[in-house]
Amino acid sequence: MTESVLLEDEPEYVALLHGLQIMGIHVALDDFGTGYSSLSYLKKFPFNKIKIDRTFVQDIENDQGSRTIVSAIIGLARALQMTTTAEGVETEQQLDMMRAAGVTLVQGYLLGRPRPASGLKFGIELHVAV
């Protein structure tokens, strides 16, 4: 769920997310750090994961500010018992830096490009076979 969606009908989303959590469904706050980025969302809504926006990941190799922000987001997520996913990892150096920062998961072109659903079964079979 992106931060911008939460602005639309906040009370309804709080109830919806609590209902999902009761059913055991985990919910991620997507594109964290962009848009309105209210820290109150992390207190008000029952998220299980924070997805770190790719703009911070792309700049992490050359920008101390991005490294500091990524570290702060990961620390905040840990303190709130949430996992983290770094979006847009495209280089080995970005992957290494995300690992060193302690991010839980990564996604991006370095790991695989988007595929149609028809290719998903083959990818799963290949992964299981290996």
Q: Report the pLDDT value the prediction gives residue 130, as an integer from 0 to 100.
A: 40
Which residue did the predictor score with more confidence, 34 or 127? Answer: 34
Closest CA to 13 of 47, 59, 36: 47
Over residues 22-49, the mean pLDDT reads 83
Over residues 99-121, the mean pLDDT reads 86
CATH no. of 3-129: 3.20.20.450
Pairs from 21-29 (Cβ < 8 Å, separation ≥ 24): 21/46, 21/48, 27/1, 28/1, 28/85, 29/1, 29/2, 29/3
Q: Report the pLDDT value the prediction gives residue 1, as an integer from 0 to 100.
A: 66
| pTM of the complete model | 0.79
Q: How far is CA 24 from CA 4, 19, 57, 71, 94, in A?
A: 24, 9, 30, 28, 32
Domain residue limits, the chain: 3-129
* Residue range 56-103, pLDDT digits in tens: 999 999 999 999 999 999 999 999 999 999 999 999 999 999 999 999
CB neighbour list of residue 110: distance below 8 Å, 6 or more residues apart: 89, 90, 91, 92, 94, 95
Q: Would you give the DSSP letter of residue 33?
A: T
Q: Is the pLDDT at 5 greater than 50, yes or no?
A: yes
Q: Report the pLDDT value the prediction gives residue 94, as an integer from 0 to 100.
A: 97
